[in-house]
Amino acid sequence: MSRDPVAICKAADAAAKERYAGKDVAGMLVVAEAGFARALADAAAQPDLAPELKRAAKVLAYNAAANCWPGWGDEGIEIDADDLARGLVLAERSRALVAELGLDGIEAGTSDWLIGALLMAAGQHAAANAAFIQARATFEAKGAAPSALMAEGYRALTQKLTAPQDRAAADEFADCCARLAAMDSKEAAFFRQQLLTAERIFTPLP
């Protein structure tokens, strides 16, 4: 294996993805956590490579954290409470690197969305709402309308889960999905399907 620390970090990202593809969430997390820790240690030891290493570490942590979210509905994947907790730690570490590197655009909003998604899955609805609101504001500031509407949809879904009898939240969620459908773009269609899948997975059976 190359001794280039950036290449090593990217190899850890690829290996973590392979574990996930093999339905091994625990193995994915072990690889990702070790790769992330090594990348930060290498960044501290080699300041000239630190920005590139931290960008690679940010991606590694984000990808593994995203794969800890049960809302994708991927077949054969089981996420337990420990996986969620470890995924949230990785998401927060990735978000911290976004801030440290000054990546205040779409990447910041996407990082906030992921933290919100993991918090929602863990039942921490108030904190999830705050993260989704922050994500929406960032997306709106960057003119990313589909992403902003997606974040608003997750906020409405979180409110639905908090108060299942809240018709306003249900209406807001349906409105977000309808507006995404009306955008007639692949990105908006993906976000709409993502929201509907999450609603199916997280809504308790009657």
Which residue matches tokens 């705050």?
130
Give the count of beta carbons closer than 10 Å to the beta carbon of residue 41.
12
- Asked if 191 and 139 touch (Cβ cutoff 8 Å), the reply is no
Amino acid identity of 94?
S
Report, in angstroms and rounded to the nearest whole number, the Rg of the chain calculated over CA atoms. Answer: 18
In the prediction, which pLDDT does 1 show?
A: 42
Confidence of residue 206 (pLDDT cuts 50, 70, 90): low
Give 27-75 pLDDT, tens digit per residue: 999 999 999 999 999 999 999 999 999 999 999 999 999 999 999 999 9
Q: What is the pTM of this model?
A: 0.94
pLDDT tops 90 at residue 166: no
Q: Residue 16 has what pLDDT?
A: 98
Angle, helix 186-202 to helix 145-162, in steps of 10 degrees: 10
Tell me the per-residue pLDDT of 167-198, one tens digit each, with 9 for 90 and over. 999 999 999 999 999 998 999 999 999 999 99
Q: 98-128: per-residue pLDDT in tens?
A: 999 999 889 999 999 999 999 999 999 999 9
Determine the Cα–Cα distance for residues 182 and 58; give it in Å rounded to an integer: 33
pLDDT score for 205:
64
Answer yes or no: are the C-beta atoms of 124 and 161 closer than 8 Å. Answer: no
